[in-house]
Amino acid sequence: MSMPAPYTTEQGAPRPEEAVDALSVENLEVVYHHTIQVLKGLSLRVPQGQIVALLGSNGAGKSTTLKAISGLLPLERGHIETGRVLILGKDAGTSPPHVLARRGLAHVREGRCIFPDLTVEENLIAGSYALPRGKPDYDIVYNYFPKLTERRKLRAGFLSGGEQQMLAIGRALVAQPSLMLLDEPSLGLAPRVVAEIFGIIERVNREQNTAILLVEQNAVAALSIASYGYILEEGRVMLDGTVDALLDSPDVQRFYLGHGTGSDGAVQSYRTVKHYKRRKRWLS
């Protein structure tokens, strides 16, 4: 028995005329260890200067998508079986991560991955290597994240979780990327800190005209700043659309925004949700 093709829209995010997309992923299939297929024909687009959210549950392939884009995949024994990744219209091919970083791509990895033994300042210096030429401007980072200013000389391992996330984003900003991949910036942070960081992400997008692909479990937060969204499930795009369309969709409300209630008004258990989701996909 074969799986029916999942539902995706063909037209994707709205495209400003004549501008090339900051990121375009076409029909990507990714396999780990030559055996485990994680992405099964994923396509998505991030137009220049926009925030696009990539949502989905654990193991849907969100982080894998980002690694495939930034070239980190081969370092983790995964490889792109078919499909391609275009960054600012140029095929990323098999370029290693540091080459792509110098082309204007920044990948803020899941779990922040700051260098704990380096000071805040030194972390930013490390970030300056993605700048193809010219003097790095660290003030840009301290402007967006004033909290880091007084921590300059402190080893990054001693920062709080929120500050570490700020440093991770700031470190990527040093190179003034045209495309930023953010992997779960809200991970493990208090709601107040999440709100603060998402506010800054939105400002960066607006003021620096940085296109952002935002991977999140926290769908509410992500959709509050994104203009377009993709919902990923088991390596495929299940649903995509403008944020308004997604917010109106009963499925999204039910499964990702937590408005889901059963017929008797009680909150449904994950078990029933999962079953319903699966049934829904089979019938679609």
Smaller CB separation from other proteins, 70 or 165? 70
Contact present, 53 and 45 (Cβ < 8 Å):
no
The token pair that represents 107 in the structure block: 């990948």
Smaller CB separation from other proteins, 3 or 75? 75
CB-count exposure of residue 143 (10 Å: 0-12, 13-18, 19+)? middle
Smaller CB separation from other proteins, 155 or 277? 155
Q: Least distance (Å) from other proteins to the CB of residue 115?
A: 5
- What are the two backbone dihedrals, phi and then psi, of residue 236, each rounded to the nearest 5 degrees? -130, 155
Smaller CB separation from other proteins, 7 or 129? 129
Interface with other proteins by CB under 8 A: which residues? Answer: 70-72, 75-77, 96-98, 101-102, 106-107, 109, 113, 115-118, 122-123, 125-131, 155, 157-158, 160, 171-172, 175
Q: Least distance (Å) from other proteins to the CB of residue 159?
A: 8
Rounded to whole angstroms, the Cα distance separating 104 from 38 reads: 26
Rounded to whole angstroms, the Cα distance separating 276 from 43 reads: 25
Q: Least distance (Å) from other proteins to the CB of residue 163?
A: 11
| Residue 16: C-alpha distances to residues 20, 47, 186, 201 (Å) | 9, 8, 29, 22
Q: Least distance (Å) from other proteins to the CB of residue 247?
A: 32
Q: Least distance (Å) from other proteins to the CB of residue 106?
A: 8
The token pair that represents 256 in the structure block: 């990702």
Alpha-carbon radius of gyration of the chain: 19
Contact present, 54 and 44 (Cβ < 8 Å):
yes
DSSP state of 211: E
Smaller CB separation from other proteins, 159 or 197? 159
Apex CA 151: angle with CA 148 and CA 157, to 5°? 100
Q: Least distance (Å) from other proteins to the CB of residue 104?
A: 10
The token pair that represents 14 in the structure block: 């709205």
Smaller CB separation from other proteins, 76 or 248? 76
Q: Least distance (Å) from other proteins to the CB of residue 108?
A: 9
Smaller CB separation from other proteins, 51 or 100? 100
Contact present, 167 and 123 (Cβ < 8 Å):
yes
